[in-house]
Structure 1
Amino acid sequence: DHVDIETCSLCQMRCPMCFQTVRDDVNNGMMDMDLFKDLMAQVARHKPYSIRLSWRGECLLHPRFSEMLDHARDVYSGNISFITNGLKLDEALFRQLIERRIDYIVISADGLGDTYQAVRSPGRFNALVEKLTLLRDMKREKRSRFPMVRINGVSLWFAGEELEQFRRVFAPLTDKILVGGVLNNFKALPPRHDPDRVCASPWQRLLVSFCGTVHPCCDDYLGLYPLGDAKVQPLADIWRGRPAQEIRRLMRRRRRLDNPLCSAMDCGIDENPNEEDDAFMELMRAQARSGGERLAGLLPYLRTKGPGEGDGR
């Protein structure tokens, strides 16, 4: 159904809740163009419903990303998207996205004004609003629905009426706004799990890292469960291979926690209310205190919330 191709795993932001900040064991780099073209040749042959040209990092940091985008559309007519923090969005890229009919982009954004700027430094809130206003106007001028725009946010960075204010700012500029709970990426705090939950990801997608290793889940940012190596194996063989079949078998038997990836990582399937967990929130407070003046203003958001307060509704 879907293939994620990680063009770049590096990121120029250090958001205090992100694994890029709180972990020191994430492998980072950029995808070689030859590997990318080989993957796209396979995508063109097998025609999955959709591809995403990003995973763990900021894809727009890749110096050849624009070329990758053009090549992807040249050989594949399906749904193309990518996730970005928005820092490198500009008019030239918007023009390319419209002309090549890239289906949608997902922009990660948290908090209003100064809060956004503390969480997503060196991003500027007003600059993001101006960029999305420009994209909306360019789409109107070209009478294009594409690219559609989704905002992804974390409920941790909103208090009181701020989430509704956030929606009022971005609703006229985007097609969808999703705000969900914060995930636990801390090595020091094992996540909680519901063993009866079943995940559909092993039947739906493959994720190819910048260096070619293939994974079954977007939460495998540590590379705990590689399915194969796309540099030496066709994606179709990896999809049908023993590691992929094994994780599906465990899911069917409701034994996903026997898998080292599922047992180690906090993912959306468990729906953990981390903002109600004082141990998690204390780790977040420590992150904010260690960030000096830039993050000090975030401490009021980091009190442990009561039941239902941290669900993003």
Structure 2
Amino acid sequence: MRKLENLSIKKNNVLKGSVYLNNNKKNIDKDEYMILHMSHNLSYKYALEKESKVNLLKKFKSKFKKYREDWNLQPERCIQEKSLGAQMKNQKIIPLCVDIEIASICDLACPFCYREFIVTPDKIIDEKLCYDLIDQAADMGVPSMKFNWRGEPLLNPKIYDYINYAKKKGIIETIINTNATNLTESNSKRLINSGLDLMIYSFDGGTKKTYEKMRPGRFSQNSFEKVYNNIKNFKRTRDELGSKFPFTKIQMILTKDTINEVNEFVNNFGDIVDNVSVNQYTERGGDIKDLNEEEKEKYNKILKENNFPENTPYMKDIEGNIKIATGREPCKQPFQRLLVTYEGKVAMCCYDWGASHPVGYTNEKAFNNSKDYNDIVKNIENNKKGFELLKDAKLSVEHNKPEKKINNLNEIWTGTEIDKVRAKHIDNKGNDISICSKCSFKDVYKWKN
């Protein structure tokens, strides 16, 4: 592996062990940036139309600071105090973020993505449902909203309207992850004008060869040059419009294909993106096929020395060190956020890719939607164009069956189904939940070198 030059390797406070690298050339802190430029936040500007300017900016800055401070503190307090739905309701503890899957369709077929293994419909959210969800989140006082999950959000043409509506409703931070394949100049302007606050690019590889291997197109050839220029031109467009938002971040997943291209990746994007990072690949479990012989020997030696069972989760960091999971940490997600699929199913967390452990439903389609999934299976079986690379995808197994009843987000947040999940994690029995026992999120494990 090449020596990492001019880079800062560190553990992020929020994703310890998962996010390793920031670009020293700029190293812009997102939260500090948001507070510094709060007067440019579109929610603040909309509020100015209704409220007095006196103390309003201070109020918005305080609200954002509290939201970011609570991101870790809220779940930690809930776990320590064993708070469940009833207590959370009494104490007015709300989701800090609501994720809405406005598009489950994606135009790429990345080999490391869960889409390769779990059937995911090519759909976009119903317009009325999306607006209803934004209303419900805003009524709860939710500070942030993310408009994607399994798919590419720019494939939903209403994305700009949804973001702008959320800003009008007072959502202080709006977020998307994007592969940037559809980030044309026109779409860039619309995103900026919509009031988007944070845009996270997913881009794997520092060279054309690696990138196009890691992120192949589903329906047409994907191009390193095209996507790179889209990202480069977005910065130019943002500068020309004189906008401070969205803050941009780009991240690369650390794999055996990308581990030697960290320098190229940082050099490519250090001057055109606000923050550059490398994320640990969530390769979990005893599958050690990505380890070389020396690493396998070290892995097995650690298992033997500590009397750990086979298939103990492991992690390889950016320096090539092998870490072994010695136990579990309570998961913070059930105390932090809610995630709603395109059909209105509320998933337990963002790592339950098939939403196979739902904790509630916001729409009737959410519990009457087998056709969307079966259609994908047929397309895969028929080797239809765009499905050739998804041949290993299977229908997810249902792990939880809540009552088939429509509830709003507030009712689900304080409801019995999500409380069952919380209670297990509070008691440090997350492995009793089948989905949690297979979790790929590195930060729910205790690690030993």
The reply to whether residue 263 of structure 1 matches residue 437 of structure 2 is yes
Which of residues 247, 252, 266 in structure 1 aligns to 2:421? 247
Give the whole-Å Cα distance in 1 for the aligned partners of 2:342 and 2:409.
Answer: 15
TM-score by length of 1: 0.80
The 5 A counterparts of 1:1-313 are: 1-21=96-116, 23-111=117-205, 112-122=207-217, 123-156=222-255, 157-160=257-260, 162-184=261-283, 192=313, 194-231=326-363, 232-270=406-444
Offset at residue 272 of structure 1 (A): 9.9
Partner-residue secondary structure (3-state), 2:330: coil
> Would the alpha carbon gap of residues 155 and 82 (structure 1) be closer, same or farther in structure 2, given more than 3 Å must change?
same
Cα RMSD (Å) of the superposition?
A: 2.5
AA of the residue aligned to 1:117 = E
Letter in 1 for 2:425: M
Q: Which 4+ runs in 1 deviate beyond 4 A?
A: 188-191, 270-273
Report how far residue 166 of structure 1 moved.
0.7
TM, length-normalised to structure 2? 0.57
Question: Are the equivalent residues in 2 in contact too, given 1:224–1:260 (CA < 8 A)?
Answer: no
Quick one: which amino acid aligns to residue 212 of structure 2?
Q
CA distance in 2, matches of 1:131, 1:202: 35
Give the AA of the match of 2:265. F
Note the residue ranges of structure 1 that are not aligned, 5 or more in a row.
274-306, 309-313
Contact 2:160 2:194 (C-alpha < 8 Å) held by counterparts: no
Identity of aligned residues (%): 26
Report the Cα distance in structure 2 between the residues aligned to 1:70 and 1:101, rounded to whole angstroms. Answer: 6
SS at match of 1:39: helix
Q: CA deviation at 1:151?
A: 1.0
Say if 1:24 and 1:202 are closer, same or farther in 2 by CA, change over 3 A. closer
The structure whose Rg is larger is: 2
Long gaps (5+) in structure 2: 1-95, 289-310, 314-324, 364-405
Note the alpha carbon deviations across 1:73-127, whole angstroms, 9 max, x for none.
Answer: 3333410011111111111221122223210111111012111012112332222
Matched-pair contact (CA < 8 Å) for 2:327–2:446: no
SS, match of residue 173 in structure 1: coil
In structure 2, do the counterparts of structure 1 residues 116 and 68 end up closer, same or farther at CA, with 3 Å as the change threshold? same
| Deviations, residues 197-231 of structure 1 (Å, cap 9, x unaligned) | 22211110000011111123110111222110012
